């Protein structure tokens, strides 16, 4: 079997390198998320945090997307604003749980990590983002 693998690698070096790179990326991302202070939560847990622990939702989408529909009482801050430390009204909520939501759950980790580094104690990301939220017919507020 090892001979067959070596033969495949010698015949397809680019494909083999791409596979190794993807495997390394998956391992690194898994290790980073495992040891991160920021945890991903499902919609049910997010609703519980909002209702029971007065969690604050930070929506990292563009202003236009935010106006089209967002979780009620969410604060709209882009990832670059969070990275630059322009947190505005969010500063006064450092002791509350913070739920970072993006469009589909793929870009919220970095802003959440930045909030954690900025001194926010309980930071979470919303699994599947606003797309998952609206996909389950959960309410979205408009405007603002």
pLDDT at position 75 over 90? yes
Are residue 44 and residue 86 in the same domain, yes or no? yes
**Tokens standing for residue 121:** 């104690």
pLDDT of residue 33: 76
Are residue 44 and residue 12 in the same domain, yes or no? no
pLDDT of residue 144: 63
pLDDT of residue 143: 72
Across residues 74-101, what is the average pLDDT?
A: 93
- If you ran DSSP here, which 8-state letter would residue 138 be given? -
Instruction: Note whether residue 126 is domain-resident.
Output: yes
Cα dihedral sign for 28, 30, 35, 36? Answer: positive
pLDDT of residue 100: 97
Are residue 54 and residue 74 in the same domain, yes or no? yes
Tell me the pLDDT tens digit for each residue of 16-46.
999 999 999 999 988 887 787 889 999 999 9
Question: How many Cβ atoms from other residues are within 10 Å of residue 59's Cβ?
Answer: 25
Are residue 18 and residue 64 in the same domain, yes or no? no
pLDDT at position 130 over 90? yes
Across residues 55-82, what is the average pLDDT?
A: 94
Instruction: Note whether residue 141 is domain-resident.
Output: no
Domain of residue 14 covers 2-33
Which whole-number Å values give the CA distances from 31 to 7, 40, 101, in the listed order?
31, 14, 22
DSSP 31-74: HHHHH-S-EEE-HHHHHHHHHHH--EEEE-S-HHHHHH-B-TT-
Domain count for the chain: 2
Are residue 125 and residue 62 in the same domain, yes or no? yes
Are residue 72 and residue 86 in the same domain, yes or no? yes
Instruction: Note whether residue 89 is domain-resident.
Output: yes
Are residue 29 and residue 42 in the same domain, yes or no? no
Whole-model pTM: value is 0.79
Instruction: Note whether residue 144 is domain-resident.
Output: no
């Amino acid at each position: 079997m090892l001979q067959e693998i070596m033969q495949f690698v010698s015949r397809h070096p680019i494909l083999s390198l791409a596979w190794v790179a993807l495997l390394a990326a998956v391992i690194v991302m898994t290790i980073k998320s495992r040891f991160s202070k920021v945890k991903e939560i499902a919609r049910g847990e997010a609703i519980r945090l909002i209702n029971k622990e007065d969690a604050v939702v930070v929506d990292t989408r563009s202003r236009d997307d935010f106006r089209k529909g967002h979780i009620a009482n969410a604060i709209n801050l882009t990832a670059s604003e969070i990275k630059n430390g322009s947190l505005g009204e969010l500063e006064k909520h450092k002791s509350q749980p913070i739920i970072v939501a993006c469009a589909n759950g793929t870009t919220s980790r970095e802003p959440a990590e930045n909030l954690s580094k900025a001194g926010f104690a309980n930071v979470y990301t919303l699994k599947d983002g606003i797309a998952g939220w609206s996909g389950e017919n959960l309410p979205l507020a408009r405007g603002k």
